[in-house]
Structure 1
Amino acid sequence: MSGISGLLAANDTIIIKAVGTWGYFSNYPKHEEPFWNQHIADVSGGDIVGEIKPQDELGLRGFEIMRLLKSGVFDFAFGLPAYAMQESEIFEGADLSSLVQNIAVQKKVAAAYFPTLERAFTEKYNAKLMMLYPFPSQMIWCKKPVNSIEDLKGKRIRVFLTTLGDFVEGVGAIPVSVAYHDVPNALANDRVDCVITGTMSAYTAQLYKLTPYGFTLRVGWGLAFGAININKWNRLSEPQKKLLQQEISILTENMWRETATEDAIALACLSAGPCSLGETGNMVLVEPSKSDLLIRDKIATEVILPRWAQRCGPECASNWNRTVGKILHLRAGN
């Protein structure tokens, strides 16, 4: 009898094949990898077993990951909403450039926009959105001194999202789309003067050797998602679903809490220290002044929001106004 029950138990085990973000950023080794490769098997008593690899190891790009999630080649994917923007600009709405300077506010924005993204993931990708979590905040790192937002005028600045391009054009600079792994090359060859990337990725990539100056205006958060293929989700039993949701919500909380501390650690390491991670970058960091923030507000309301509303359409904009707009006291579109 025990042989039969053992066989049934083996058949009941759910294997979830997952794809992570980048192995060289802290979210993957600290959170994504241990969660799927070990934690979920431990807490489920082997009932749910995960297997994950980072996207850079698999040689995949964002839009390919979304296609593979939709078709069920992957059961679960972590990634950035930018991966999905070929389908719809709605995916940009929770992380429009420079609107949010504070992580507690960004968490509220993510919660307010969650149902919108949840619907979009279901409709466009046959996937259930399980979580939204932030990477450390996106700031501006330059080869020459930047003492104010005005100093960005005319500079060629690396971007990786349309909304970041809107910000860059709003300050009178030139957006240049460059993949993250090409950033050092683009700086060395004078294709760009400045780079927008996260605080911790700027440190781990040793950008301080190429960009000695940082302007610590938050121009985005690199808000990321975790989503599961709906066909796979439907194969889980009710207790398995409950357990997975519970564990993912704990994971999400841990990631928000840690990102809040990572900015401070990365900025200390990029500048004069003390640095718990290794060498100090000795960058000169300049914080935005009150007048910089006023200019930022003007760019947000006159460039970033109107352009996005136009790309996304009136229905999308009015939904944003009812959700995120209420928290930020801002309006997209007319």
Structure 2
Amino acid sequence: MTITRKSFLGAVAGAAMLTLAPAAFAQNVTLRFHQMLPPQATIPSKAIKPWAEKVEKESGGRIKVQQFNAMALGGKPPELFDQAKDGVVDIIWTVLGYTPGRFPKAEVFELPFLVGDPVAGSKAFQEYVEKNAMDEFKDVKLIAVHVHGPGLIHSKDPVTKLEDLKGMKVRGGSRVINIMLEQLGATPIGMPVPAVGEALSKGVISATTIPWEVVPAVKVQQIVKNHTGFTGSKGLYTQTFAVAMNKASYDKLPADLKKVIDANSGQIAAAMFGQAMADGDKAGLGLAQKGGNNVITLDAAETQRWQRTAAGVRAVWYKEVGDKGIDGPKLAAEAEALIAKYSK
């Protein structure tokens, strides 16, 4: 057989293409990450952005994460989890309490005076979910769960004792927190955090429960001048969050890119988001102090009055989840043990 110059060059070119194929045709993926807060807020700027950059770097640039903030891709905050489940977007960050009753086992971390440090709390919550509540996330690829730092009250009028809360319209961020506000004598008004600033300005509510970290994002320190926290390491409450990925978006990744996502899931991601919350708390408190706001810390005796009054939330929650066949006391004990473990 005679090899012509043309056929020889063609063979060389073909061999070269085969050699280049893995690099030239390596799968590149763009993941759309959707969440509710403005880009300057703590989570999008101090957690999602560095997480995305880490994923992009470790994938050799083959995974590109596009951030879409402030519900830019449409819908409302309570719809975010379903957007990930249904493949409307690839990844979301959301507040679990925005869909009441959907995550009953995860709710235990919202019980009053349970969580303090958000890093320890987030690590504890991650392990808790992996052991006890993965069935609640079966419709998504769970990247991580986490909590925020100590929850407190931000109000137009000073709250210096339990009686000051009586009849006050206070924003609550979840079903369990609203039960707690009722027990404390307030009138709970449920709403997502992006609506808080306007609701305070228009007098729809007189106070809100949020941690320090979210204060700057909704300019609460400019709208109200009173902030009431508690003695001790535990906050009045915390809220629970999840970073979740569409299952199909994950499943279609090649094995090496799945490993990149897996390496940035679980405890690593939970701690990263928890640390962002801790840093955000310092920044939010600093802004209120700089503005000369009235930062109140209730003394130990008054804090104990709130703790005793809020203790009834557990009985209500135990009954509600018990009706669903869930052992509430057992899960609460598990949560407390894990928080203690990671708080050492």
TM-score w.r.t. length of structure 2: 0.80
Instruction: Please state if 1:268 is matched with 2:277.
Output: no
Shift of 1:28: 0.2
Whether 1:27 and 2:43 are equivalent positions in the alignment is: yes
CA–CA separation in structure 2 for the residues paired with 1:6 and 1:18 = 31
Name the residue aligned to 2:272. 254
* C-alpha distance 58-135 of structure 1, shift in aligned 2 (>3 A): farther
Matching residue within 5, 9, 28 for 1:13: 28
Is 1:234 the counterpart of 2:251? The answer is yes
Residue-by-residue CA offset, 1:48-87 (whole Å, 9 max, x unaligned): 2322312432232234222221122222221111244353
Instruction: Provide closer, same or farther for how the CA distance between residues 6 and 308 of structure 1 changes in structure 2, counting only shifts above 3 A.
Output: farther
1:92 aligns with 2:110: no
1: CA distance, partners of 2:77 / 2:106: 13
Give the SS at the match of 1:215. Answer: strand
1:306 aligns with 2:306: no
Deviation at 1:14, TM superposition (A): 3.5
Displacement of 1:21 in angstroms is 4.1
Letter in 2 for 1:29: S
Q: Secondary structure at the match of 2:308?
A: helix
When the two chains are superposed, the root-mean-square deviation of aligned CA atoms in Å is 2.7
Q: 1:279-290 alignment to 2 at 5 Å? A: 280-290=290-300
User: Offset of 1:94 from its aligned partner?
Assistant: 2.5
Q: 1:5 to 1:305 in 2, by over 3 A?
A: farther
Partners of 1:181 and 1:328 in 2: CA distance: 29
Q: Is the 8 A contact 1:203 1:281 kept in 2?
A: no
Distance 1:2 1:170, change over 3 A: farther
CA 1:90–1:62: 2 relative to 1, 3 Å = farther
Q: Secondary structure, in 3 states, of the residue corresponding to 1:257? A: helix
Q: Cα offset for 1:45?
A: 1.1
Give 3-state SS (helix, strand or coil) of 1:65's partner. helix
Deviation string 1:76-102 (CA, Å, 9 cap, x unpaired) is: 221111244353433422233432234
- Aligned counterpart, 2:12: none
Structure 2: distance between partners of 1:54 and 1:245: 24
In structure 2, the CA distance between the partners of 1:299 and 1:104, relative to structure 1 (3 Å rule), is: farther
Give the aligned partner of residue 324 of structure 1: 335
Q: AA paired with 1:265?
A: A
**Structure 1 portions without partners, runs of 5+:** 272-279, 330-334
Question: Structure 1: which 4+ aligned runs deviate by more than 6 Å?
Answer: none
Give secondary structure in 1 for the equivalent of 2:88: coil
Q: Residue deviations 1:127-184, cap 9 Å, x none?
A: 1222123344432111112222332222111112111111211111111223434333
Rate the CA distance shift 1:281–1:189 in 2: closer, same or farther, 3 A. same
Correspondence for 1:152: 165
CA contact (8 A) 2:109 2:115 kept: no
- Give the Å deviation of 1:224: 1.7
Q: Distance in 1 between matches of 2:22 and 2:116?
A: 52
Pair 1:252–1:146, CA change in 2 (3 A): same
Q: 1:140 to 1:294 in 2, by over 3 A?
A: same
Contact 1:112 1:323 survives alignment (8 Å): no
Aligned to 2:124: 109
Structure 2: stretches of 5+ with no match in the other structure: 1-14
- The aligned counterpart of 1:119 is 135
Secondary structure of the 1:176 match is strand
Contact 1:156/1:176, CA 8 A, preserved across alignment: yes
* Normalised TM-score (structure 1): 0.82
| Higher RCO (CA 8 Å, separation ≥ 6 residues) | 2
- 1:296 aligns with 306
Equivalent residue pairs, number: 316
Question: Does the CA contact (< 8 Å) of 1:98 and 1:296 recur in 2?
Answer: no
Within 2, Cα distance between the matches of 1:147 and 1:228? 43
Given that 2:100 and 2:174 are in contact with CA atoms closer than 8 Å, whether structure 1 keeps it comes out as no
Q: Assess, with a 3 A threshold, how the Cα gap between structure 1 residues 48 and 295 changes in structure 2: closer, same or farther.
A: same
Structure 2: how far apart are the matches of 1:28 and 1:270? Answer: 21
Are the structure 2 counterparts of residues 261 and 70 from structure 1 closer, same or farther at C-alpha, using a change threshold of 3 Å? closer
Letter in 1 for 2:181: V
Of 77, 97, 107, which residue of structure 1 is paired with 2:92? 77
How far did 1:258 drift? 3.4
Question: Is 68-77 or 178-187 further displaced after alignment?
Answer: 178-187
Which residue identity does 2:42 align to in structure 1? Answer: S
- Partner Cα separation in structure 1 for residue 166 and residue 16 of structure 2: 73
Q: Percent identity?
A: 17
Contact 2:169 2:189 in 1 (8 A): yes
